[in-house]
Amino acid sequence: MRPSTIAARPTRRSVLLATAAVGATIATARPGTAGPSHATTQGPNQTSPKGGVNLAGADFGTIPGVHGTEYLYPGPRDVDYFGDLGFGLIRLPFKWERLQPRLGAPFAPAEERLLTDVARYATGRRIEVVLDPHNYAKRRIAEDGWSREHQIGSAAVPSDAFADFWSRLARLFAADDDVLFGLMNEPVGLSSDAWLGIANAAIGAIRRTGATNRILVPGVAYTGAHSWLTANNTVMEGVIDPLDRFAFDVHQYFDADSSGTRPDAVSGTIGSERIEAFQAWARAHGFKAYLGEFNGGRNPAGYNALHDLCQEMSANPDIWLGWAAWAGGPRWPETEMFNLGPWKDGRIREQTAILARYARPQSSNAWVTEGAAVDLDFARGRVFGVPSLEAALALGAEAQESGPRSVSDLADRKGIRIGGPAGPLSATPGEALLGLMGGEGFTLLIETRELPSTPSAVDLLRTGTQPLLRRAPSGAAEFLSGELLRTASQPLARWQSKRRVGLTIDRVQQRAGLGVTGQSPVEGRAEMPDAARVAFSLGAQASSGGYLVRIVAFPRFIERADMAALVA
């Protein structure tokens, strides 16, 4: 979030730089010196990220301020509310100036107690705590009457002072592995090279205390995931942690400039789109990450974007260790667009209800069977190619209105059973069934990427006996020409590029039997009965590094011009 104004009782997230005088429906669209090796391998039963919230309040108000007036630490009631909903992590923003009023000096006892009381209470409930000095790589000092901010690394606030601060804080929590050290909130105003040196000095100071806690390292330019590469945060490949126990802390909002200052989401898939480049960079280098801030406004696009982003992180557990949405806490106004606390009448807020669905880490069955099948991402309507089929996609009015649908677990490790509005479906490994439901048509977008080389050509995706997607020995994957998918006797409309093929049908009609009537889908319209099914046979086992095939299934007909752009 990019701060702009200050208020004693905040009305928007912009107050979080409070030191100047003091965002459920289904989505409808999609170096420094080298440190230790960070290589990771995705494997069996990998868990989804641990979900949490920021509990703001201790970072509000004037500096130094009075607790209970200008600022307020969250209490047991705040922790319990989110803990009872299943959130397993809280990010705890506070101000460096209040905890350590004078650089290099011991912590203020009263402030230290306020901080440790919250952290100890949360970890006593087995809730992880991310300590977050919410200072933007700046702080005020008593010597000039707290009148202005000084950048870390300046003469007034040297980097050694920041390292000293973290060495003291690390000693307080070194015995508690459920406490994570978030080095700094959203550094801004300094270069990535300068910040890397400051961060490495702080990490070294932490490790010299004997603390083994995980350290969360942000980048510069507000540590935006969307701008990670363009802001030169790739320099952060040079992070040096003697224990190699760190992760990158990135933030991502859904409004036009990613600042989190407006409730409007650009689209229902903007979150996953904006983290895509960072995610690819992290995977290429074997890095882990936390998403330290995000949210969507109280509107359909915001809800869709929340589903989309949470599902994207859940689908990539080799990257994402956890996330904390913005924000709960005791001082938010009732009308604050990102307030995650309960409404005054006790009702759960819309965003909180969505987030709670993804908060508990779930063990993934993505690698339990041999042969390749598909795993579904309901929020995005996407099917990720992994060697296990866990669910089938039912696209209907209920799914569109209520958002992602829960499905039955694997009945056993030899096959799958899926419950849906059309009744149970079943398949064996190597075959995937998509139940295509609903009245407004559907679109399938199938894509692939470069794959590991193989001794011979392999059919990755077949429709009936016809290959749709083939991997060459070189590892290149290509869509095959010709009539690739038919419903009864008619093909679906089809668009194709080098890596993607799009298939659409305009209307799904509720009637018994399996057949197609109406105009040719090549002309953009066809009709299909309810519960028509298209079966794909998938060949070859997915490598542990990523997907072989991704099938995007949208619960609506996508117009010709939009489809052309989608497959480009």
Identify the CA nearest to 378 among candidates 438, 434, 307, 446.
Answer: 307
The residue whose two tokens read 């949470």 is 310
| Structural domain range at position 424 | 373-567
Torsion of Cα atoms, 129 then 134 then 138 then 139, to 10°: -100
Rounded Cα–Cα distance for residues 17 and 21 (Å) = 11
Torsion of Cα atoms, 397 then 399 then 402 then 407, to 10°: 150
Can you read off the two tokens belonging to residue 29? Answer: 């669209």
Q: Which of 297, 325, 359 is the last residue of a domain?
A: 359
Whether the Cβ atoms of residue 32 and residue 344 lie closer than 8 Å to each other:
no
- Strand, helix or coil at 461? strand
Please name the amino acid found at residue 150: H
Do 275 and 380 fall within a single domain? no
Do 465 and 431 fall within a single domain? yes
- E-strand ranges in 387-509 read 416-418, 425-427, 431-436, 442-448, 458-463, 466-471, 477-479, 486-487, 490-491, 493-496, 500-505, 507-509
Do 335 and 382 fall within a single domain? no
Is 2 within a domain? no
Rounded Cα–Cα distance for residues 199 and 204 (Å) = 9
Do 403 and 307 fall within a single domain? no
Whether the Cβ atoms of residue 228 and residue 192 lie closer than 8 Å to each other:
no
Do 257 and 401 fall within a single domain? no
Is 311 within a domain? yes
Share of the chain above pLDDT 90, in %: 48
pLDDT at 494: 58
In the annotation, is 293 catalytic?
A: yes
Do 338 and 401 fall within a single domain? no
Please name the amino acid found at residue 34: A
Q: Which of 359, 392, 411 is the last residue of a domain?
A: 359
Q: Which of 70, 128, 149, 186 is catalytic?
A: 186
Q: Which of 359, 386, 404 is the last residue of a domain?
A: 359
pLDDT at 38: 33
Do 271 and 416 fall within a single domain? no
Cis ω for the linkage preceding 327 (within 30 of 0): yes
Is 423 within a domain? yes
Do 179 and 306 fall within a single domain? yes
| Overall number of domains in the chain | 2
C-alpha distances in Å from residue 555, one per residue of 372, 424, 436: 25, 20, 8
Query: Which spans in 376-514 are helix H?
Result: 397-402
Q: Which of 128, 293, 312, 390 is catalytic?
A: 293
Can you read off the two tokens belonging to residue 373? Answer: 């099948």
Cβ neighbour number for residue 139 with a 10 Å cutoff:
24
Rounded Cα–Cα distance for residues 99 and 165 (Å) = 9
Is 347 within a domain? yes
Can you read off the two tokens belonging to residue 180? Answer: 């994570």
Write the CATH number for 150: 3.20.20.80
In the annotation, is 483 catalytic?
A: no
Tens-level pLDDT at each residue, the chain (568 residues):
655 332 332 322 222 222 122 221 212 222 232 333 333 323 333 467 899 999 999 999 999 999 999 999 999 999 999 999 989 999 999 999 999 999 999 999 999 999 999 999 999 999 999 999 999 999 999 999 999 999 999 999 999 999 999 999 999 999 999 999 999 999 999 999 999 999 999 999 999 999 999 999 999 999 999 999 999 889 999 999 999 999 999 999 999 999 999 999 998 889 999 999 999 999 999 999 999 999 999 988 898 899 889 988 988 888 999 999 999 999 999 999 999 999 998 889 999 988 988 887 653 322 222 223 333 332 233 333 222 222 222 222 222 233 322 222 222 222 222 223 333 333 333 333 333 333 444 555 555 555 555 566 655 555 445 565 666 666 666 666 444 444 444 445 555 665 566 655 554 432 222 222 222 222 222 233 332 333 344 443 333 333 444 554 454 455 555 555 555 5
Is 1 within a domain? no
How many H-runs (helices) and E-runs (strands) does the chain carry?
A: 10, 27
C-alpha distances in Å from residue 284, one per residue of 15, 186, 513, 534: 36, 24, 48, 35
Whether the Cβ atoms of residue 555 and residue 395 lie closer than 8 Å to each other:
yes
Identify the CA nearest to 553 among candidates 441, 445, 428.
Answer: 445
Is 251 within a domain? yes
Whether the Cβ atoms of residue 499 and residue 552 lie closer than 8 Å to each other:
no
Rounded Cα–Cα distance for residues 236 and 216 (Å) = 12
Cβ neighbour number for residue 69 with a 10 Å cutoff:
10
Do 309 and 391 fall within a single domain? no
Do 319 and 430 fall within a single domain? no
Do 202 and 334 fall within a single domain? yes
Do 491 and 516 fall within a single domain? yes
